[in-house]
Structure formats: C-alpha cells, structure tokens
C-alpha cells in the first residue's frame, strides 16, 4: 500500500508539468502550430490535454485512505511507464543498476518540489520531454493508457465517496494527498449564503412595520450564483412601494456583514479546481470585513422608507445589515430602472400566446438562466425566501433588451418579507414517489427553459394535474418524455443534470428519503450532480465563467473576452484545432493569383469577390514574397492574430453600447424605425451550412434562409434548400456577419451554387435573374426553370430587411438587378457590395459602383490597403475595412475543419454590413436621450439614416484616418463610450441634413 501511495504522489507531482506542456501545444503560438502539422486528424495534443487535466483533477481531490486494488495499481504503473518513456534520452552518470525506477520522473518531481514558487518554464520542459512519438500507434497507446488510468482512478474515488460516512461540516474535505495551502479562496458556492439569506429575511421582516394599511410585503429577490471570496454577502431586491392597485417597485441592494467570523477549514486553490467539489468556506481566522466609513441612518421602518424614496427620482436604495441592525446609506444611480415597470413572469414568457415568443431568447441566455436557477435552489430552497413549492410562476424578469425580450440573465424570485411561522421539519412523504419534490420541480424548470415551452402543453388530457389538485409526481413521466426530446440536441452535461433531478433514486442510496437541505453534505451532492454539470456546460459551449455571471450589467450578458478567439472550439475538447499547415508553405517564390486573372474567358461576368483557387486554407489572397516557409508562416500568423485583435476591439468597445435597453414606446422612434425589433440583414451569397455547434449558437440570429437555384439539375437534392453551401463562401460571410452584429437578425439568400458558376458564360444571365425579380425561361443546359421569387425583392418585401450585403460583382451593369436595387433603395434599404479583388487590373465591380450601393474595399487590421483591392476612386468615397486573414465558420463537409481564414473584399463586405447594423441599433437606443420634442421635429432627417446615402455619412465620420487614399472604418472611434449618446446623435443629425 505504501508503494502505491508513493506512485500516486509521483503521478500527482508530474502530471501538472505534462499538462502545462500539452496546454502549450494546443495554443496559438508559431511553435505549437508547427508541432501540430500532420497530427490534426487524430487531435493528439488536444486529447492529451483532456486526459492530463482529468488526471490532475482526480488526484487533487484524492483521499489517501482509499484502498487501491491490484488491477488499478497496474493501470497506474502503465501510466507512469508511458510518461517515463517520453523523456528525451540523456546520459546519466549513474550506472544503470544504480538508477531507480522512474528515474526521470523522480528527477522532475524533485525539481518541482525544490523550485517551489519558481515554476519550470515550458521552454525547458520542451527540452526535457517529447510528447509526440513519430509512430501513430505509440501515440494512440499513450493516450489510451492515460485515459484508462484517469477513468479507473476517478471511478474508484467516486465509489469510495459514496460508501464513506458523511463528514461533519467542520471536517469536510480534510485529508487530501496534498498539504493545505493558504491563499486564494475557491470560487465555489459559499456555504454561508444560505445562513446570510435567512438572517436577512428575518431582519427585513422585523423592520417592515406597515401601519394603518394592508401590509405590502411583496418582494422580488434577484437570484444569483453568489460566488464571493469575502465573508459579507450582497443581495439585490425590488421592494413593493404601495399597497394599492398601482404597484411600484424600488430597486434596492442590501449588504450583510456577519457579526463574527465563522470557523471553517481552509480549502486549497488546487482542491477548488477539482471535479469532486465542495462548498467554499472562509478560512480560519478570517477578519471581519471592514465597512467603509460612510453616512448611515437607522431604518425606522421599511414601509416608511419605501414611501419616502418612491416619490423621488429613480435610484438604487442601499441598505446595510451590521450587528443585526438595519441601516440605509446614500442611494446610488439606478441600474435597472424598474421603478415604474411591472415584471414579466417566466410562465407568461413561456406561454405560446405571449406577444414576445420565448424563442427570441438567446441560447446563451437560456444557459445562464438555468445555471442561476440551479444555484438559487441550492441557496434558498426550504428557507424563508423559497419554501417547499416553486415553479415558473415564481420567476420573473424586469429588464427588457433592445428588441423587447426580457433579460432572462437577471431573474427575480417573487416572495414576501413577512414573519414566518416555524417551518415544520418535513412533509408527509408517505404517498410521494419522488422524495424531494423541489429537486423534481427544478428539473422541470430546466426542461421548460431548454425546450422553450411549458410542461402544461405536453400533458395528456387525462393527466390529474389538469384538474384543481396538483401533485408534481404526475408531471414526472411528462418530464421524462421532454428529456428524451433533448438527448439529441442538448449537451450531455445538461441531460445528466436533469436526469439527476428526475430520478427518484438519485439521492436515496446515500441520504435516504428525508435529508435536510440544511445538511451541508446533501447540498454538496446536489451541487456535484446538478449544479456543476450545468456550469461546465455553460463554460464548454460559450466560454462563460460562472464566477462572472453576477457582475454582468443589465442586458449585457455577453461572451467573455477570451471567447472571441476560441468561441467555436466547443462541445468536445478534442475538436480539430487548426487546418493543416503544409498547404500554407509554398516551396518556390511566386505570387498566388485568383483564377479570374489566369482565365481570360471569365472576365467578370459574375464572380464572387473572393479567391477561386482552393489550394490554401488561411486566406484567399496571400501574396508570397519569400521562399522561407518559417518566415511565411510567421507572417500569416501575425496577420491572423491582428485580425482577431481587431474583432476583439469591436467586441470590447462597441458591442456593450448596443446591448443597452431600447425604449420603443415613443411614437417618434416608430416613425424613424417603422418595424420594431432587431436590425435585419440579408446576405446574398452561396448559402449557409454552419457546423453543428455554430448553428446552435447562432440559431437565434439566422432567422430564415432561401435558395434561388435551379431545381432540375443533377444537384437537385442539394440546391433545393436554402441552408446548403457547396462552396463555403456564403457560410464564411454569414457567420462573420453574425459575429460583428451579434444582436442582428440574419436572412440568407442563396443566389450562387459555387464560385465555379461564373466560369460558365451562360450562367451570368441566370445569376442576374436570380438576384432580381423576373420570370426565367427554360434553359436547355439546366433542363429546368428557375424560381421566380428572386432575392432582392423577396428580402425587401417578405423579410423586411434593413441592410443587404452582396459579396459579388459583375464587369458590366445588369438592367434587371439595377431595377431591383432601385426598388430596394426607394424603400430605404442600405446596400453594400464588394469592390472586387482585381487590384489595379480592373475597375470597381458592379453593383458596387452604383450610387445606391456602398462600395467596400479591404484592408489589413491596421488599415493598410490589401494588394487585391481596386484602385481608389478619386473624389469619391473609398470605404474600406478589415478583409485579410479573417477567421470564420466553414462547412464541415468541405474538409477544411469547422473554421478557416479568408481574405478579400467579400470578407470585408459583411464586416461593413455588420458595422452598419451596429450604427442603426446604437441610434435606436440613443434617440430618447435627445428628448422627444427634438426627435419629433427631426423625424424626416433621422429617417435618412436608413439609406445607403445616410449610412455613408456615418461611415465618413468613422473614417477620420484616411490611409493611402482609402477611408478606413474605425467604428470604436465614433461609437465610443466616452462620447454622450446625445452628442453622437447630434453629429449624425447635422450630417444627415446635408443629404
């Protein structure tokens, strides 16, 4: 046994170093990129990263009292053997007979222990360890041994935890193979939030004091995860201000400082990252947090305080609980402005007859709501805030997003602040199937949010819950059917969490049927089986850390900063990391030219403004001027990284401005923007065929798709649907548009089969007629008639779009498309088109040179013109934006992975269209800041913004840095938080008057 424990300690000491190395090789550095050449199909480094991470988490939580059987001991030895074999062969001074087993691993362990805080750098580890064997079977063998070791140790640990007796609260998590480390506290649910919440309810109920009228103790408690590293707790509430029919609500914040520090065992930061998690407890001897010196006044009665505050300007009331006394502090500015708003319940939002359908809620926001509700259940269930029954009627929302959808990332619990009778110890469970109805109710709530419909719609006509008497057990079979519906489309973590809620045996083996929710061990098990999987699913799919959920501002629950570069690397850790690098490294000095330049028969009858050569996967136009492969790769990666930085700037500096609340109740806004809701953009291209995960993420943005291709040729099955893309050009542009304008609705019009269509001269007329709105005669070469509903007119009349993006161009003007564009311009639709990729060898393509269309050129991330963009037009606008080495989604069936980088004016065009959408949304949000009378006087002028000419005036403001004759669009220079919204609108208004 001692030998086995020694092996475990050895493995625990070296695995973090191997994990560090695997993490490096899954990164974006040049060395990592080169190391992965030829290994992408097996995702070797990604798999190693997963297994090392899993091993580290299991070992961090390991209990040394667990007996390890002989089969698992052999698995452990095999894992150490394979790690020992990966060291670079060096000559040891000791004789072979004098060397101990695992000599190199032991040396590494000693080095780690001796260095202490001086970590071993990755560069040194790379010199010591060679992770990838040249032979694939050896690489597979290595991964399999690590997988088996991790699985066996994890299974053994989980079984041991179930069998061992429950620990008292003061001893929980004692006895790891690691010594406790003081320092950073874990960001896990605090075990004290439940106690804080009970104390807060008691103090508020005692201090309400309604005199002379019916008590109005209705309260909305904002639900949150409460991940805090301090002893004090903060709660956000909305208090009812009056007992009459016209309810008003007061936004409030309560800070609770406990009287004394609580005794608890410190938990190491390493343990906090383990899979077997525990509640966060404050360390021993934690000092009581000091309350800053500020004005405070004793609360003589909450009812009286609400009456006084409600007559003043909307503000956030700040309360303090200290030494069991209630104080009020100086108020702060209102965060949610809920004083005159009535909340919307989750039940009403899920109702199919709701004026705002629940499917408007973003997938990411649904994930966040599920995580918050699960955490709230842990903190409040069976306490004074949330007694024993709860459902979607008890959950409500105040804040509305720009398109009228309630902000479901900030849920409130409807409750009351009134004295409670002593809670009975338990319910009559003699007739209950599920021993914990609250957990079952949580599972049903999660399912209703996932599927977007209430369980009442799924009940059979003879379900007993359709009557006046309600028994939640009768809904359990219905919920099981709903869960079955989720198995194909929902994440495995979500499915497992809901299964744990619905299964009546989940907790009975360990805790019986009468466990108390005050039992820390019981709540910890709920966290491990239900809450934690939901949090992991949120992080895997959207990269959202649960620790940051509580600090999200109203209507601003957006992707975290880190996800802009990894946002599509989701669901599975072994997702393909990068395209093959071999195709990027030409061996001779040459220029890569698009096919249009090499085939004189093509001209520009109809071409996508993109590279026709499918050889490279990094971009469409890479003008290679070096024969050094390493130098070339470095240049490519540098441009790629800068493109990500440009998009990051947009995400951090502009996107928060358009996630604010939009008040669409004013008549002037309806006159300027006649159609309520989000900005709509149509993209005319080769269609769309997103990878599964991206399709899931963007499902709330991609509102419709339609094809205008022939239905009678040999590709009939592929071309009849609008959601196909045989080329990739359209998918790349549409996904990029969704990234630049995350709050816009996107409509996909498929007018090209692929870029090869432009090589057939007779296809030019066919493509022209697809784009416009005329009947098409039968063409013998295709033996079918084309659809008579064409893209531009359909986008304007049926989809009601505000913007049309066209990443294509023709050499000559086309009458039928010209008429369609004029039709769209008359109806105030903004149109943007690619300038072409012919460089100085040709003029700007048509329709980009039309006055009704905004022509878009391409630059790198610094605003320098790309070589392929046409010569600027003297005396006119030459708008240009990022169009080089931009990463976006790619159809999986085309064999280049789920993402690729493209360059071209066709890449710049959807980015510019997205910027135009951001401008429209910004102005829509900002107009009320000018005052209603002022806006009413300028309705006609502001309406000009919804035209290509009007948007061009804003683009000129953004392009205040002319570079090489081009007007480089820098959206964050004009749409900048340092400028007041009214100032920006006034500038736009002055420019629009000149049109």
Let me know: does 176 contact 61? Beta carbons within 8 Å. Answer: yes
286 is catalytic: no
Q: How far apart are CA 966 and CA 959, in angstroms?
A: 9
685 is catalytic: yes
808-809 vs 966-968, strand pairing mode: unpaired
Cα separations (Å) of 717 from 769, 867, 895?
Answer: 21, 39, 20
Q: How far apart are CA 53 and CA 150, in angstroms?
A: 9
The CA dihedral of 159, 165, 166, 168, to the nearest 10 degrees, is -140
CB proximity list for 641: less than 8 A, separation 6 or greater: 28
Q: How far apart are CA 711 and CA 787, in angstroms?
A: 8
Let me know: does 795 contact 682? Beta carbons within 8 Å. Answer: yes
Closest alpha carbon to 534 in 366, 692, 413, 408: 366
CB proximity list for 374: less than 8 A, separation 6 or greater: 442, 446, 497, 530, 531, 534
| 395 bridge partner residues | 413
Closest alpha carbon to 844 in 609, 527, 652, 520: 609
773: left (phi > 0), else alpha (psi -120 to 50), else beta?
Answer: beta
590 is catalytic: no
Q: How far is CA 591 from the centre of its chain?
A: 39
Q: How far apart are CA 841 and CA 220, in angstroms?
A: 66
Tokens of 354: 């709701």
Q: Give the DSSP per-residue string, 840-871.
A: GGS---BTTTSTTSEEEEEE-TTSPBPTTSPP
CB proximity list for 967: less than 8 A, separation 6 or greater: 877, 878, 879, 880, 955, 956, 959
Alpha helical stretches, state H, 133-221: 136-163, 193-206
Closest alpha carbon to 180 in 55, 284, 287, 56: 284
Longest CA–CA span in the chain (Å) reads 95
User: Taking the CA atoms of the chain, what radius of gyration do you get in angstroms?
Assistant: 31
Catalytic residue among 196, 434, 698, 729: 729
Closest alpha carbon to 830 in 705, 936, 921, 925: 921
- At which residue do the structure tokens 């429950």 appear? 166
Catalytic residue among 365, 493, 611, 685: 685
Burial 834-852 (b: 16+ CB within 10 A, else e): bbbbbbeebbbbbbbbbeb
CB proximity list for 194: less than 8 A, separation 6 or greater: 378, 379, 380, 383, 518, 523
Cis peptide before 342, with omega less than 30 degrees from 0? no
DSSP state of 548: G
Let me know: does 805 contact 681? Beta carbons within 8 Å. Answer: yes
Catalytic residue among 491, 758, 807, 906: 906
Q: How far apart are CA 306 and CA 339, in angstroms?
A: 11
Q: Give the DSSP per-residue string, 576-624.
A: --S--SGGG--SS------HHHH-TTTTTSSEESS----S-SS-S----
Let me know: does 563 contact 542? Beta carbons within 8 Å. Answer: yes
Residue numbers annotated as active site: 685, 729, 906
């Amino acid at each position: 046994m001692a030998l086995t424990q020694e092996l475990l300690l050895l493995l625990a000491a070296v695995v973090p170093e191997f994990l560090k190395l695997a993490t490096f090789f899954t990164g974006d550095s040049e060395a990592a990129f080169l190391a992965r050449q030829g290994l992408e199909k097996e995702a070797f480094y990604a798999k190693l990263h997963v297994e090392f991470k899993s091993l580290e988490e299991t070992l961090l939580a390991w209990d040394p009292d667990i007996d390890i059987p002989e089969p698992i001991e052999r698995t452990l030895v095999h894992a150490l053997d394979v790690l020992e074999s990966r060291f670079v062969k060096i000559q040891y001074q000791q004789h072979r007979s004098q060397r101990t087993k695992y000599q190199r691993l032991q040396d590494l362990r000693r080095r780690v222990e001796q260095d202490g805080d001086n970590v071993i750098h990755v560069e040194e580890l790379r010199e010591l360890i060679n992770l990838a064997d040249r032979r694939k079977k050896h690489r597979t063998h290595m991964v399999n041994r690590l997988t088996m070791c991790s699985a066996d140790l994890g299974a053994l640990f989980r079984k041991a935890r179930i069998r061992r007796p429950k620990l008292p609260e003061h001893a929980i998590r004692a006895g790891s193979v690691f010594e406790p480390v003081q320092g950073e506290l874990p960001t896990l649910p605090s075990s004290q939030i439940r106690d804080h919440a009970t104390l807060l309810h008691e103090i508020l109920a005692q201090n309400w004091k309604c005199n002379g009228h019916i008590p109005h103790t209705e309260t909305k408690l904002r639900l949150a995860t409460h991940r805090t590293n301090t002893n004090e707790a903060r709660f956000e509430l909305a208090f009812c201000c009056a007992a009459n029919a016209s309810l008003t609500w007061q936004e409030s914040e309560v800070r609770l400082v406990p009287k004394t520090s609580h005794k608890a065992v410190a938990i190491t930061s390493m343990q906090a990252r383990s899979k077997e998690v525990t509640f966060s407890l404050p360390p021993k001897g934690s000092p009581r947090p000091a309350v800053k010196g500020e004005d405070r006044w004793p609360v003589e009665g909450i009812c009286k305080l609400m009456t006084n505050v409600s007559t003043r300007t909307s503000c956030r009331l700040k309360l303090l609980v200290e030494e069991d006394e209630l104080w009020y502090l100086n108020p702060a500015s209102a965060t949610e402005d809920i004083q005159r708003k009535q909340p919307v319940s989750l039940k009403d939002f899920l109702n199919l007859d709701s004026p705002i359908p629940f499917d408007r809620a973003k997938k990411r926001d649904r994930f966040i709501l599920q995580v918050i509700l699960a955490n709230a259940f842990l903190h409040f269930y069976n306490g004074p805030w949330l007694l024993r029954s709860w459902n979607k009627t008890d959950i409500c929302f105040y804040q509305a997003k720009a398109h009228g959808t309630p902000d479901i990332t900030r849920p409130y619990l409807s409750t009351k602040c009134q004295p409670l009778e002593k809670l009975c110890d338990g319910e009559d469970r003699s007739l209950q199937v599920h021993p914990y109805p609250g957990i079952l109710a949580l599972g049903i709530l999660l399912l209703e949010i996932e599927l977007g419909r209430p369980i009442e719609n799924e009940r059979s006509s003879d379900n007993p819950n359709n009557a006046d008497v309600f028994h939640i057990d009768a809904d359990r079979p219905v919920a099981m059917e709903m869960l079955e519906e989720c198995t194909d489309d929902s994440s495995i973590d979500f499915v497992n969490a809901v299964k744990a809620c619905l299964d009546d045996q989940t907790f009975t083996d360990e805790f019986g049927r009468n466990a108390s929710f005050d039992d820390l061990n019981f709540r910890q098990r709920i966290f491990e089986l239900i809450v934690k999987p939901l949090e992991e699913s949120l992080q895997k799919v959207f990269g959202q850390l649960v620790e940051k959920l509580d600090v999200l501002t109203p209507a601003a629950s957006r992707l975290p900063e880190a996800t802009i570069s990894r946002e599509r690397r989701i669901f599975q850790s072994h997702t393909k990391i990068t395209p093959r690098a071999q195709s990027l490294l030409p061996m001779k000095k040459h220029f890569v030219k698009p096919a249009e330049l090499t085939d004189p028969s093509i001209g520009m009858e109809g071409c996508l403004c993109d590279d026709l050569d499918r050889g490279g996967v990094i971009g469409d136009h890479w003008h290679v001027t070096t024969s050094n492969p390493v130098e070339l790769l470095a240049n490519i990666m540098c441009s790629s990284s800068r493109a990500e930085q440009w998009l990051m700037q947009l995400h951090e500096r502009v996107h928060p401005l358009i996630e604010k609340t939009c008040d669409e109740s004013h008549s002037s806004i309806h006159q300027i923007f006649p159609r309520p809701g989000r900005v709509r953009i149509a993209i005319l291209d080769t269609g769309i065929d997103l990878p599964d995960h991206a399709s899931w993420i963007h499902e709330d943005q991609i509102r419709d798709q339609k094809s205008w291709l022939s239905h009678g040729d040999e590709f009939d099955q592929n071309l009849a649907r609008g959601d196909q893309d045989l080329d990739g050009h359209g998918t790349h542009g549409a996904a990029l548009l969704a990234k630049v304008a995350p709050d816009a609705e996107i409509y996909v019009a498929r007018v090209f089969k692929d870029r090869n269509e432009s090589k057939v001269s007779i296809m030019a007329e066919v493509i022209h007629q697809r784009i416009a709105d005329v009947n098409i005669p039968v063409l013998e070469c295709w033996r079918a008639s084309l659809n008579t509903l064409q893209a531009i007119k359909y986008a304007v009349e049926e989809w009601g779009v505000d913007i049309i993006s066209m990443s294509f161009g023709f050499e000559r003007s086309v009458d039928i498309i010209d008429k369609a564009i004029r039709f769209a311009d008359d109806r105030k639709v903004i149109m943007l088109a690619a300038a072409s990729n012919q460089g100085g060898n040709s003029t700007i393509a048509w329709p980009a040179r039309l006055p009704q269309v905004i022509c878009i050129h391409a630059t790198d991330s610094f605003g320098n013109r790309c070589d392929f963009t046409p010569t600027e037009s003297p005396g006119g606008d030459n708008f240009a934006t990022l169009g080089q080495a931009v990463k976006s989604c790619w159809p999986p069936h085309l064999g280049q992975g789920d993402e690729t980088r493209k360059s071209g004016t066709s890449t710049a065009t959807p980015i510019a269209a997205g910027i135009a959408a951001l401008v429209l949304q910004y102005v829509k949000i900002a107009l009320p800041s000018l005052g209603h009378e002022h806006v009413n006087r300028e309705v006609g002028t502001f309406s000009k913004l919804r035209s290509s000419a009007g948007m061009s005036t804003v683009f000129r403001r953004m392009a205040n840095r002319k570079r090489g004759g081009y007007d480089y669009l820098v959206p964050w220079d004009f749409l900048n938080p340092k400028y007041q919204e009214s100032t920006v609108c006034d500038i736009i208004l002055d420019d629009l008057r000149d049109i």
